[in-house]
Amino acid sequence: MKKPLLILVAGGSASGKSTVVQEILNTAGLDDVLIIKHDDYYLDQTELPMEERFKMNYDHPSSLDNDLLFSDLKKLLQGQAIDKPIYDFDLYTRSPKVEHVQSKPIIIVEGILILENEKIRSLSDINLFVELDDDTRFIRRLLRDMKERGRTMESIISQYEKTVKPMFHKYIKPTKRYADVIIPNDRKHDIAVDLIVTKIKQILGERK
């Protein structure tokens, strides 16, 4: 089996990373793709009481088990299957269940902090950063967390002010310098998508 292509996609919370990834895959006509959410690698907090889990800073690099992700990605790049953790957003900890996933020709890892870790970056073929202004991202996050995660407006605003916004400017935004392409998600980005698709096809062609 030829070595899979690894793409890392970073950007602030609710910047539209998943949407942009889907647009790239649709444009390239690719479907044999493994998409991994960096969120699933949040540290296990089963031993902590719920009130302590609420207080954790989930936008800080230390909240993620990057050693496990690095190990899993190395296995996937060697064509091996992994048992991927699953994060339970309702319980603020890792689920006791895992997902058995097979390696695929293209592996995409999405996450706000995925470009922050040097070891993980060392495995990547293409690094992308999806950019969207702070106000729009906040509104999207507010609506998403209320609808999909059952959180109150007050808790979302509090978390945004205390950790999400300051951590974005301290840890996430600076990782733009590691991106091969920065994709503006507040207007049409056909050219950026076309460039990425061309590069993906080029690398895949070279690995045949």
The rounded distance, in Å, linking the Cα atoms of 132 and 130 is: 7
pLDDT at position 58 is 92
| Beta strands at 93-101 and 181-184: parallel, antiparallel or unpaired | unpaired
How would you classify the pairing of strands 82-88 and 93-101?
antiparallel
Q: Which pLDDT belongs to residue 182?
A: 93
CB 125 within 8 A of CB 33: no
List, in sequence order, the alpha helices (H) in the chain.
17-28, 50-55, 66-77, 118-121, 134-148, 153-159, 165-167, 190-206
Residues 6 or more apart in contact with residue 73 via CB below 8 angstroms:
6, 107, 109, 120, 123
Class of domain 5-198: alpha beta
Predicted model pTM: 0.92
Residue boundaries of the structural domains of the chain: 5-198
Torsions phi, psi of 184, nearest 5?
-75, 125
Q: How far apart are CA 28 and CA 58, in angstroms?
A: 33
- What is residue 9's predicted lDDT score, i.e. its pLDDT? 97
Per-residue pLDDT tens digits of the chain, which is 208 residues long: 689 999 999 999 999 999 999 999 999 998 899 999 999 999 999 999 998 998 889 999 999 999 999 999 999 999 999 999 999 988 889 999 999 999 999 999 999 999 999 999 999 999 999 999 999 999 999 998 898 878 889 989 998 999 999 999 999 999 999 999 999 887 678 888 899 999 999 998 888 6
pLDDT of residue 190: 83
